[in-house]
Structure 1
């Protein structure tokens, strides 16, 4: 894993997120995004969620990696079976967060989360980066059947870049 490129991607996403929120007008943020049911502000919060869930994803990978292989595959199947409730919670959470959380709070939350991910990545050793688990592939287009911790560190920026294209900002 090229840690330097992951760090650079985190910084690029953080700077872009700040710029998008800082430069957009209130009207632009209220405008419907392209290809989602969210407005631009809600989609920006959803993008932020991709970074916020990393702590949980990393912890889950470490726990499941210790279990027998069948347990991890069973867990992924169970999560895939729960895709519809997950999608509903994901939609409502992003709608509520993007509607209620002030812009400045989203920027601060992004800055703190990316800083924490930088620190955490710097503490990882090669053994911990190689650990992983099966993932629910129906939850996100960037989840694969098996993902290592190194793969997970790439996820929030992949998620960011994908959804960035759906924003309908000037």
Structure 2
């Protein structure tokens, strides 16, 4: 099931850079008080939510090898794998929430930008090296895990995921700076 047509590498790379720069702007402009404040519509503080936004890029970096491997399996196996993951949504949600809480203690405002630079830089470089065939490879996804996961996603579509994730969560920040 390949769907690589329409993958605009330059546009995706530009969006990755836009979000990287925006993250640095948010971190630089936010006060310590507003970073400790609750975000809108989540249980996270703004700093925890900012880490969760960076985590979206880390997830993609981890998912790329998995998609490459699973995409070689028969479609029925791929679909069953996604169903098994969907069945584990509740534990995933707990790990996702508490993991971001704990990770924000290590990757706080002073370290988060550097982590994002490394991960986004690696994704951008990898995107440029991907073959058209690789960009068209895909797998079925656990759609209950995230509103931006679709039933079937190609590697090309997966590169867009953290950008959509970032933009969505940026609207939930309640920082005392313009964003």
Alignment of 1:125-140 (within 5 A): 125-140=131-146
Alignment of 1:85-104 (within 5 A): 85-104=91-110
Give yes or no for the alignment of 1:121 onto 2:127: yes
Normalising by the residue count of structure 1, what TM-score does the alignment of the two structures yield? 0.98
Mean Cα deviation higher: 140-149 or 103-112: 103-112
CA distance in 2, matches of 1:99, 1:11: 25
CA distance in 1, matches of 2:72, 2:146: 24
- Residue of structure 1 aligned with 2:88, choices 82, 102, 106: 82
CA distance in 2, matches of 1:3, 1:101: 29
Note if contact 1:80-1:139 (Cα within 8 Å) is conserved in structure 2. yes
CA shift at 1:22, angstroms?
1.0
3-state DSSP class of the match of 2:174? Answer: coil
CA distance in 2, matches of 1:102, 1:95: 10
Q: Deviations over 1:31-74 (max 9, x none)?
A: 10000000000000000000011121111110100111111000
CA distance in 2, matches of 1:38, 1:55: 23
Cα RMSD for the two superposed structures? 0.7
Aligned length: 170
- Residue of structure 2 aligned with 1:26, choices 32, 41, 47: 32
Note if contact 1:41-1:99 (Cα within 8 Å) is conserved in structure 2. no
Structure 1's unaligned 5+ residue stretches are: none
CA distance in 2, matches of 1:113, 1:100: 16
CA distance in 2, matches of 1:102, 1:16: 16
Q: After the TM superposition, which segments of 4 or more aligned residues of structure 1 sit over 2 Å from their partners?
A: 99-102
3-state DSSP class of the match of 1:53? Answer: helix
Normalising by the residue count of structure 2, what TM-score does the alignment of the two structures yield? 0.93
Residue 114 of structure 2 corresponds to 108
CA distance in 2, matches of 1:30, 1:78: 36
